[in-house]
Amino acid sequence: MSVVNLMADMTITHIVEAMLPRFSDSKLGLYIDVKLDFFDWGYGADGNTVEREGLAVRTDIHFLFVRASNYTQVYALIERPEDSEIKYVLNGTHKYKWHRTSYHDSCWRSDGLNPLTDEYFHLAELFNGREITGKPMRPCDISKLNHLNYDPTFVEVDIQPANPEADKYSDEGRDFIIDMKPIDRYRLEQIGYKDERCSASGNWMADITSGVLIKGSEDHTRALEHKKRCDEKNGKLTD
């Protein structure tokens, strides 16, 4: 077991940036499940004497990222042990109510991942009042195992407002019913091309790569058509 801890929000941000670039397919999401496990084994300060009943608590934080433009959508679904109605999220047979935590070009890295901090402190508070050999339990006395529950997974999504009549800026207006199913990577493609506007001006950034697209989708078809127009235009410029 590694003794090195990484900042969860920063780690997730880098995973999203690497796997799901901006301007990806509007029907494509990246699903990441973070599990927080806190334990008190009930031992005294000597590490051997059992002096109280042990306590183990956990939370699963399901995240979904959609990046169809320069704005990133972040959705979160909190699963605690008492939430027995939540089944395996990826099985494609259940639709759950998710909360959109951010829809922004930069703040998604902070606001969007706030559930990590909120749930961490929620779990820590459950140990308030516990003592070790007559002294209040400290945060360092709680054993923690925080990790990604599964490998990050590409999913095909259908996202609908939970209440279409709600004000989109209200808390209720940020609830969405999401249906998502894993998608095989062979169905995905990134398309590279030269933009005629950049090429005409001699801009060194003429090479453009789209986000990750689902083959055969409307977004994929539009990207192929745009690539074709750019290729034709660039061919004329180089004749």
Report how far residue 20's alpha carbon sits from residue 15's, in angstroms, rounded to the nearest whole number: 8
Supply the pLDDT for residue 199: 53
Q: Both 22 and 66 in a single domain?
A: yes
pLDDT band at 20 (very low <50, low <70, confident <90, very high): very high
Quick check: is 153 in a domain? yes
The burial class, CB within 10 Å (0-12 / 13-18 / 19+), for 100 is: buried
Q: Both 64 and 110 in a single domain?
A: yes
- Evaluated on CA atoms 221, 226, 227, 231, the torsion sign reads positive
Number of domains in the chain: 2
Quick check: is 207 in a domain? yes
Quick check: is 160 in a domain? yes
141, 157, 183 - which closes a domain: 183
Report how far residue 110's alpha carbon sits from residue 112's, in angstroms, rounded to the nearest whole number: 5
Q: Both 106 and 168 in a single domain?
A: yes
Q: Both 47 and 126 in a single domain?
A: yes
Stretch 15-22: mean pLDDT? 95
Q: Both 36 and 125 in a single domain?
A: yes
Which residues, in sequence order, are bridge partners of residue 99? 76, 175
pLDDT band at 198 (very low <50, low <70, confident <90, very high): low
pLDDT over 90 at 205, yes or no: no
Q: Both 62 and 171 in a single domain?
A: yes
pLDDT band at 86 (very low <50, low <70, confident <90, very high): low
The burial class, CB within 10 Å (0-12 / 13-18 / 19+), for 46 is: exposed
Quick check: is 3 in a domain? no
- DSSP string of 143-179, one letter each residue: EEEEEESS--EEEEEEEEES-TTS-TTSSGGGEEEEE
Q: Both 154 and 193 in a single domain?
A: no
pLDDT band at 221 (very low <50, low <70, confident <90, very high): very high
pLDDT over 50 at 204, yes or no: no
Coil vs helix vs strand at 189: strand
72-79 and 143-148 beta bridge pairing: unpaired
The residue ranges of DSSP E strands in the chain, in sequence order, are 28-40, 55-66, 72-79, 96-104, 131-132, 135-136, 143-148, 153-161, 175-182, 188-194, 207-214
pLDDT band at 238 (very low <50, low <70, confident <90, very high): very low
Q: Both 173 and 68 in a single domain?
A: yes
Lowest mean pLDDT across 42-56, 139-153, 191-205: 191-205
Quick check: is 1 in a domain? no
Q: Both 71 and 123 in a single domain?
A: yes
Element (H, E) at 42: none
Owning domain of residue 219 = 186-238
Q: Both 123 and 193 in a single domain?
A: no
Provide the 8-state DSSP code for 2.
-
pLDDT over 80 at 43, yes or no: yes
Q: How far is CA 12 from the centre of its chain?
A: 7
Quick check: is 147 in a domain? yes
Q: Both 58 and 124 in a single domain?
A: yes
Quick check: is 94 in a domain? yes
Q: Both 69 and 149 in a single domain?
A: yes
Q: Are 86 and 96 in contact (CB under 8 A)?
A: yes
